[in-house]
């Protein structure tokens, strides 16, 4: 199970630096597939069977995630999370967290996001 090691993180976000990413019922995204915004959107669309009209804007992502959270809770696990949006300007990562945070705090069902990155010694 994921371990939150930073008390300053919001309740919907967990950073896991341990080896186990087995979170029952979670949707797992490979960090390598999420290096760009287009890659992230494509990975989310495939993993969540999102509608083809998703588009490629943060507002569109917010809308479809909110629609998804009208039906049931959702846990997203990003493996190798250090690769998440690494090929984009830093503000894109901040925008993703802002979108996820807004959705997590206003949707009818909970959204959990686990960023998994194995710490190197």
Q: How many domains does the chain have?
A: 1
The answer to whether position 80 is within a domain reads yes
Write out the residue range of the structural domain in which residue 112 sits.
13-116
The answer to whether position 106 is within a domain reads yes
Average pLDDT over residues 23-36: 92
Beta-carbon contacts of 87 under 8 Å, excluding residues fewer than 6 positions away, are 35, 36
Question: Mean pLDDT, the chain, as a whole number?
Answer: 88
33 pLDDT exceeds 90?
A: yes
The answer to whether position 6 is within a domain reads no
Its pTM stands at 0.86
3 pLDDT exceeds 60?
A: no
107 pLDDT exceeds 80?
A: yes
1 pLDDT exceeds 50?
A: no
Q: Which H or E run contains 46?
A: helix 37-48
DSSP 81-95: GGGTTTTS-HHHHHH
The answer to whether position 63 is within a domain reads yes
Q: What digits encode the pLDDT tens for the residues 40-81?
A: 999 999 999 887 777 789 999 999 999 999 999 999 999 999
The answer to whether position 37 is within a domain reads yes
121 pLDDT exceeds 70?
A: no
- Looking at residue 120, its pLDDT comes to 62
109 pLDDT exceeds 70?
A: yes
């Amino acid at each position: 199970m994921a371990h939150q090691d930073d008390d300053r993180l919001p309740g919907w976000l967990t950073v896991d630096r341990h080896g186990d990413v087995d979170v029952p019922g979670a949707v797992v995204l490979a960090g390598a597939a999420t290096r760009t915004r287009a890659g992230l959107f494509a990975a989310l669309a495939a993993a969540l069977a999102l509608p083809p009209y998703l588009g490629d804007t943060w507002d569109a992502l917010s809308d479809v995630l909110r629609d998804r959270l009208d039906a049931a809770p959702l846990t997203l696990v990003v493996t190798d999370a250090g690769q998440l949006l690494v090929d984009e300007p830093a503000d894109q990562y901040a925008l993703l967290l802002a979108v996820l945070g807004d959705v997590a705090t206003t949707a009818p069902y909970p959204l959990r996001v686990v960023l998994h990155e194995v710490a190197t010694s």
